[in-house]
Amino acid sequence: MSASTAAAALASLLDYSPAWLPDVNHWEVAQDGGRWIVQGQLAGDPGESAAIKALRPVVEQSGQELADDGRLITAGFEVDGVPCMVWSLRPVLRWAVPETCATCPTELAPDVRFVWLGEGGREAPVLCVPCRDRMQASWVASHGSPLVAARLQAHELLLAETETERPAWRQVHTVMGGAHPDAIGPVCLDDEHDADDPTAYACCPEPVIEVESHVIGAYLVELLNADAVAGEPA
Ligand SMILES: [Zn+2]
Ligand SMILES: [Zn+2]
């Protein structure tokens, strides 16, 4: 079978234009493993089920089953002994994968696992799997954890005591002349209280918490101040 035989079959197909033939974007005569065939892409950029529906009349007419290699859905038929086909590219494979993850610089190379967010539409962000896992872990950590519940309750208590949204903590002395601070407490904002004076007076907000070890006291102050920042609502 020659190219001209295939071209003649295409001409007669277009001339005859049978009712079972779906709209095709572009017909061509092509070589397929040593033989000449006629092929065309299904018009309209349809999704998978629409493509299968559009190709069904071809299948019914030809008696050839749809071929599907996971990438192309193909309906074959014959015109004057020339093999013909209408094919449709699976939509998901037409969606271009972005070069990098939407939330980190990881390149989405073929060996990188990634996921489409949401419905997985063309505009959906694509994340590498480590980013997806990090997001999931941080969501779990930030919703319903005991830390979050305790932080909220402490926040309300401190707000009532200090009238400050996020009071900073510091080490304080509850007795004059101690070598080391023996307690921690919210920073006092009283005008009369010198900011450099680490002593707890009547002006200072509660709770002043005695901590036997000043080393642990320093650590608790750092933890409380860091966690107040971490717990800021976005
Ligand atoms: Zn990433
Ligand atoms: Zn004070």
Does one domain contain both 186 and 137? no
19: Cβ contacts below 8 Å, ≥ 6 apart: 57
Task: Give the mean pLDDT of the chain.
Answer: 87
What is the full DSSP assignment across 48-67? HHHHHHHHHHHHHHH-PPPE
CA of 105 to the centre of ligand 1 (A): 6
pLDDT at 228: 76
Categorize the per-residue pLDDT at 224 as very low, low, confident or very high, splitting at 50, 70 and 90: very high
Token pair listed for 115: 């996921």
Positive/negative CA dihedral, 146, 149, 154, 155 = positive
Q: What is residue 122's predicted lDDT score, i.e. its pLDDT?
A: 65
- Residue 156 in any domain: the answer is no
Q: Do 123 and 174 fall into the same domain?
A: no
153 part of a folded domain: no
Whether residues 9 and 89 share a domain: the answer is yes
Question: Do 105 and 83 have their domain in common?
Answer: no
Domain count, the chain: 3
Q: Are residues 117 and 189 in the same domain?
A: no
| pLDDT-based confidence at residue 159 (cuts at 50, 70, 90) | confident
Structural domain includes residue 124: yes
Is the pLDDT at 96 greater than 80? The verdict is no
Same domain, yes or no, for 104 and 86? Answer: no
CA 223 to ligand 2 center in whole angstroms: 22
Q: Confirm whether 152 is domain-assigned.
A: no
Give residue 234's pLDDT: 40
Residue 85 resides in a domain? yes
Same domain flag for 86 and 10:
yes
Domain shared by 23 and 82, yes or no: yes
pLDDT grade for 44, boundaries at 50, 70 and 90:
confident
Ligand 2 centroid–CA 166 distance in Å is 17
Query: CATH number, domain at 29?
Result: 3.30.70
Q: Express each pLDDT in 172-186 by its tens digit.
A: 999 888 899 999 999
Give me ligand 1 centre to Cα 122, in Å: 18
Which token pair is 57?
């009349």
Structural domain for 115, as ranges: 96-142
92 or 39, greater pLDDT: 39
pLDDT at 230: 64
124 vs 113 pLDDT, higher one: 113
Same domain for 53 and 134, yes or no, is: no
Q: To the nearest 10°, report the CA torsion of 41, 45, 46, 52.
A: 10
Distance 228 CA to ligand 2 centre (A): 21
The average pLDDT across 139-167 equals 82
Confidence at residue 232, expressed as pLDDT on a 0 to 100 scale: 61
Q: Is residue 225 part of a domain?
A: yes
Q: 193 alpha carbon to ligand 2 midpoint, in Å? A: 5
Poorest-pLDDT segment among 116-125, 157-166, 217-226: 116-125
Q: What is the pLDDT of residues 46-76, one digit of tens each?
A: 888 889 999 999 999 999 999 988 778 999 9
Q: Using the mean position of ligand 1's atoms as its centre, give its distance from the Cα of residue 100 in Å.
A: 8
Model pLDDT, residue 163: 83
- The CA-atom distances, in angstroms, between 151 and each of 45, 60, 103, 219, 225 are 53, 67, 28, 17, 12
232 compared with 116, residue with greater pLDDT: 116
Is the pLDDT higher at 230 or at 55?
55
pTM for the model: 0.42
Q: What percent of the chain has pLDDT over 90?
A: 53
In a domain, 148, yes or no: no
Q: 100 and 86 in one domain?
A: no
**128 and 86 both lie in a single domain:** no
Phi, psi torsion values for 113, nearest 5 degrees: -85, 135
